[in-house]
Amino acid sequence: MMRLFSICLVIILTNSCKINREHDTNDDILLIEKAFNQLQYASAVKKFDYISKEKIFPRSTDKTGKLRLVDKKDWTSGFFPGVLWLMYDLTKENNWKGKAIEYTQVLESEKFNASNHDIGFKMMSSFGLGYKITNNKNYREILIRSAKTLVTRFNENVGSIRSWDHNKDKWEFPVIIDNLMNLELLFWAWKETGDSVFYNIAVKHAKTTKKNHFRNDFSTYHVVGYNSDSGKVVSKNTYQGYADESCWARGQAWALYGYTMIYRETQNPEFLKQAENIANYIINIASLPKDYIPLWDFSLLDIEKEPRDTSAAAIIASALFELSTFTEYNKTIYLQVANRIMESLSSNQYFNTLGENNGFLLKHATGHKPMNSEIDVPLIYADYYYLEALSRKIKIKNN
């Protein structure tokens, strides 16, 4: 019971990876096979008790290199099921589908978890992907319930969904840039149910964030604090960045991905323009290293001493691949940067060798540098967005 997740037993693969090679380029096939072998190493899991509240979802490694597991309430819990769904989608190997179903089902009770905004992260990467791939009607009902839970955190005076309930000594009503990602759940629910409440709340939050989270150069603040009664901005901080006026790399990545997704769902040109402005900051204003893998904060320049963040890089690559499909004007540069990021992430410098780091795909990610948490380690969401970026890259080529 105490070791539900068998810490990465080595699997000798006796069956070849049955990948559909009809359209994929050789390079993309090699990347899929590389990911297949590494994740297969990590996925030797024992059967677990669905009722158990123990920690079963891989998140990272600790300072000793030991696998760090979290329970279903953690904001990252949906990404491991998402990795499994993405591997099934890329390979059509039923082994991935079976594991994805098992881990996804454990998260069902989170559809009622209204304690923070992270329900979108958890449910869309697990049940959302699962519904897209399987059309499981039970998944649909779970997602609709999850969307109803998320909207309970919306404040009409502020025009935003509240992110956290903790740290009340710092923020009365905090909204973080990451919250944009959760809006995808609301847009999905609007399309599935026709209920405009979901759409209106998502758009209102997107516009409020657009108004208050960005500087003149379209770099981002991490946290904006509001007065919940008046809706007025009280504070602007970059809690996970180097300083309040610096640009936290993953926060900027969330913004790019968020407004790209919001344009996809609304077709409102103001959101496309916002995504393009955010991309312009990353590509032309921020200090990107030559290999395009950012330091944990864009405002830092010491490439030798400061840690990189492969999670930010993977999110940016995935977002740029999608953004390239919405514009002809900047299409080429978006694809060039996204492909350059993927080339670097897939190199030995950033991609773990077989069996390394408990079977995670990417190394050199940074979670929360100011809190000295998860620095220069693998992170499950880095792997998730890497695989999503690879999937988007292949689909663009196929089209």
List the catalytic residues.
Answer: 118, 178
d(CA 99, CA 84): 7
d(CA 149, CA 122): 13
Other Cβ atoms within 10 Å of 75 Cβ, number: 17
Going by C-alpha positions, the residue among 234, 252, 251, 248 that lies closest to residue 170 is 234
d(CA 302, CA 369): 15
d(CA 282, CA 341): 12
| Structure token pair of residue 192 | 């599935």
> How far apart are the two ends of the chain, measured CA to CA in Å?
47
d(CA 257, CA 265): 12
42-to-45, 74, 252, 316, 352 alpha-carbon distances in Å:
8, 20, 30, 25, 12
d(CA 65, CA 79): 20
Other Cβ atoms within 10 Å of 132 Cβ, number: 14
| Structure token pair of residue 274 | 């916002």
Other Cβ atoms within 10 Å of 42 Cβ, number: 25
d(CA 220, CA 216): 10
Residues 6+ apart with CB under 8 A from 175: 158, 160, 161, 162, 163, 208, 209, 213, 223, 224, 225, 226
